[in-house]
């Protein structure tokens, strides 16, 4: 293992001079030494020890990416794309991303402190103890998709409420008056709640309020679905607050002999890559995941560069993508 000292010895200068060259403080070292040292570094294959560096400077160039839940969180393509994008951009900024799964915020705090982690991005539902996380870790934090009343939190999210409204209005426009809401991707997070609220609110406004029995949990029983779709006043359309749910729902409806969109319609949320390939292709509310990641990372680095920067709460827009999983009841008649 080659160290600064070795390089210094070989170059006949002090460690300090080598350190300056390694760290690009060229203005403080003579031209000739820079060249000599660089060539020795190259020749010997010297790589700075980041452990030593971070011990000494209290800056590790590590960013933690923290995912709520367990391994299955990455099976959800939305998270995968987001994490992938975020980690890539972290690396692009010459930092190293550490990927953590967490449920317990104490554990997070431990991990963030133990390396001198310089910043963290949180994905998922840390709504409740978010303030605590912030307080316990005196480093820049960026949350994604968090709903919290706490001020002074930097968060990047989308207009989930509007997404719900869009879905409701679209379904009504297509003549669906009795509709249902199916599930959240794991628990009822703030995100799902907002989508539901927007959905519910728009329905009310349009005069078709959502009844309680039309709000279904993640994986509704076949029985329940059947009853809803076959009653005297059958549900003709479903809003799933995630494409993955929509997909599963379509599968289930299929199993009950209900064709989508002929027999009942489904609208999703996210517009994940597979949405255009499913059959029927999914009508869904689109959000720009890449942009979300980009903004989150940009904000994080801004805060790392300038710890005094004010917290920001960014809300990105969503839009409806019309495909073929919703039928027009007007045409049908």
Q: Which residues bind a second copy (CB under 8 A)?
A: 47-52, 54-55, 60, 62, 65, 70-75, 77, 80-81, 83-85, 87-89, 91, 96-101, 110-111, 113-116, 247-248, 250-251, 273-274, 276-280
Least distance between a second copy and beta carbon 26 (Å): 20
Cβ atoms 166, 132 nearer than 8 A: no
Binding-residue total with DNA (CB under 7 A): 31
Helix (H) or strand (E) run with residue 102 in it = strand 96-102
73's contact among a second copy, DNA, none, with CB below 5 to 8 A by partner kind, is a second copy
Least distance between DNA and beta carbon 140 (Å): 18
Cβ atoms 111, 64 nearer than 8 A: yes
112 binds DNA, rule: CB under 7 A: no
Considering beta carbons, is residue 69 or 198 the nearer one to a second copy?
69
Residue with tokens 């978010």: 130
Least distance between a second copy and beta carbon 69 (Å): 10
Cα angle: 88, vertex 93, 98; to 5 degrees: 55
With CB under 7 A as the contact rule, the residue among 35, 52, 70, 99 that binds DNA is 52
Least distance between a second copy and beta carbon 30 (Å): 27
Cα angle: 96, vertex 50, 22; to 5 degrees: 105
Considering beta carbons, is residue 26 or 88 the nearer one to a second copy?
88
Rounded distance between C-alpha atoms, residue 18 and residue 10, angstroms: 11
Q: Which residues ranging from 7 to 46 are in contact with DNA (CB under 7 A)?
A: 12-17, 19-20, 22-23, 27-33, 46
Phi, psi of 273 (to 5 degrees): -55, -35
222 binds DNA, rule: CB under 7 A: no
186 binds DNA, rule: CB under 7 A: no
Least distance between DNA and beta carbon 194 (Å): 42
Cα→Cα distances 78→62, 82, 84, 213, 288, Å: 24, 6, 10, 28, 10
Rounded distance between C-alpha atoms, residue 177 and residue 179, angstroms: 6
- Structure tokens of 65? 């990416």
**Binding region for DNA (CB under 7 A):** 1, 3-5, 12-17, 19-20, 22-23, 27-33, 46-49, 52-53, 55-58
């Amino acid at each position: 293992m080659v160290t600064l000292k070795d390089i210094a010895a070989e170059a006949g200068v002090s460690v300090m001079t080598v350190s300056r060259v390694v760290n690009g403080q060229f203005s403080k070292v003579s031209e000739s030494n820079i060249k000599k040292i660089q060539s020795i570094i190259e020749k010997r294959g010297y790589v700075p020890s980041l452990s030593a560096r971070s011990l000494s400077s209290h800056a590790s160039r590590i960013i933690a990416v923290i995912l709520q839940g367990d391994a299955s969180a990455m099976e959800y393509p939305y998270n995968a794309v987001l994490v992938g994008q975020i980690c890539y951009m972290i690396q692009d900024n010459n930092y190293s991303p550490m990927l953590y799964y967490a449920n317990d915020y104490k554990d997070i705090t431990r991990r963030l402190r133990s390396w001198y982690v310089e910043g963290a991005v949180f994905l998922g539902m840390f709504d409740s103890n978010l303030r605590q996380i912030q307080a316990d870790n005196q480093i820049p934090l960026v949350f994604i998709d968090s709903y919290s009343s706490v001020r002074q939190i930097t968060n990047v999210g989308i207009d989930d409420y509007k997404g719900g409204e869009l879905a409701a209005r679209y379904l009504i426009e297509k003549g669906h008056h009795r509709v249902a809401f199916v599930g959240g991707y794991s628990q009822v997070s703030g995100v799902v709640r907002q989508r539901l609220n927007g959905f519910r609110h728009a329905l009310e406004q349009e005069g078709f309020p959502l009844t309680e029995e039309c709000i279904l949990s993640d994986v509704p029983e076949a029985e329940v679905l059947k009853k809803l779709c076959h009653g005297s006043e059958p549900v003709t359309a479903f809003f799933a607050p995630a494409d993955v749910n929509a997909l599963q729902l379509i599968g289930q409806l299929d199993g009950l002999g209900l064709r989508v969109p002929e027999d009942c319609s489904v609208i999703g949320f996210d517009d994940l890559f597979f949405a255009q390939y499913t059959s029927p292709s999914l009508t869904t509310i689109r959000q720009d995941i890449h942009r979300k990641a980009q903004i989150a990372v940009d904000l994080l680095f801004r805060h790392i560069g300038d710890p005094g920067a004010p917290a920001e709460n960014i809300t990105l827009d969503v839009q409806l993508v019309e495909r073929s999983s919703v039928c027009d009841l007007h045409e049908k008649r």
